[in-house]
Amino acid sequence: MKEEIRRLLREKNGVLLAHNYQPAEIQDVADWCGDSLELSMKAAQSDADLLVFCGVHFMAETAAILCPDKAVLLPRLDAGCPMAGMITPRQLEARKQTLPGIPVVTYVNSPAAVKALSTVCCTSANAVQVVESLHVPEVLMTPDRNLARYVASRTKTRVHFWDGCCPIHDAIRATDVHQAKNAHPQAIVMAHPECRMEVLELADQVLSTSGMLRFAKASNHREFIVGTETGLLHSLRKENPGKTFYPLSDRMLCPDMKKIALADVLHCLKTLQGRVRVPEDIRKSALGAVQRMLKVTG
C-alpha cells in the first residue's frame, strides 16, 4: 500500500502531510510530518496540485485557507477535533457582544469560520508573543481555556478565556506527573500547553509538539517524559535513537487522530474523495487572521 500511495502521489503531483499525532505507518509514508500550521505553510510553498492531509478536519481547512490553488483532501471526513467543536461562529459573535472592542485571539485548533471572526490567530508556541504584540489591556482567547490560562500566567494582559479544551490533554492531572516522575526519576518532563496548569507547573519544559522535537534533539538529557498525544513518540524516537521517551500517560491517545489508516489514504488518492473546501469570504477573513499572526512571529 505504501508503494501504491507513493506512486499515486507522483502521478497526481500530490504531497502527503501527516500531523505529529498520526499513526506511525502514516508518518512513515508522508512527505512531511509536523504540526498543523507548519504543514500548511510548507504545502503553500510547494508546487503540488494535490494535498492529502492526514490529521483532523480543521487542519485540512487551514491548508485550504493557505492554499486556494490546490485541492485539499482529508482521507476520513469524520476525523474531527473535540476542541474545535466546542466553539461556533454564532457563539463567538454572542461572546464578542459582551466584550465590545476586545481583540479575539484564536488558537489555530479551531474552525475556519471562527478564525474568520477573529482579530488574529495563534499557535501553542507563539500565543504569548501574539497576545503581547497587540498592546492592549484585555483579550479574549478561544477556544482552549488551558492555553489561555498558560498565556495569562506569562503576561500582564488580562485574558478572558473560552471554556473549551482538548479532552486528551485536559484529562491529565498532577498525580499523573508525579507517577511518571517516580517511575522515571532521571527524565525531563515536557508538557504541551493544552494541559492544565497543575501539570504545566510540574513540567521542566512547556512546549508545542514541534518545540518538543527541537528541544529533545538539542538537549544533552537522555530520558524524557512526553506530556502530549502518544503519536509524537514515534518521531521523537526516530529522530533520537540514543534517547529514551516515555509517555506521561498511556491515556493520552486521541481517537480522531488515529482514524486514518493506509487504506483510507489509498482510497482517497484513487477516488479523489474527501475534498475540503472553505467558502471564499470565510477563507479571506480567516487568512487575514493567520497573516496578522505571521507578521508578529515571522
0.75 exceeded by pTM: yes
**According to the model, what pLDDT value does residue 298 have?**
73
Spans of the chain, pLDDT less than 50: none
**According to the model, what pLDDT value does residue 155 have?**
97
- Residue spans in the chain of domains classed CATH 3.40.50.10800: 2-81+257-278, 84-167+284-297, 172-251
For domain 84-167+284-297, the question of CATH label 3.40.50.10800 is answered with: yes
**According to the model, what pLDDT value does residue 297 have?**
85
The topology (CATH level 3) of 2-81+257-278 is Rossmann fold (3.40.50)
The model's pLDDT over 49-94, given as tens digits with 9 standing for 90+, comes to 999 999 999 999 999 999 999 999 999 999 999 999 999 999 999 9
Q: For residues 159 and 83, give the distance between their C-alpha atoms in angstroms, rounded to a whole number.
A: 19
**According to the model, what pLDDT value does residue 91 have?**
98
The topology (CATH level 3) of 172-251 is Rossmann fold (3.40.50)
The model's pLDDT over 94-137, given as tens digits with 9 standing for 90+, comes to 999 999 999 999 999 999 999 999 999 999 999 999 999 999 99
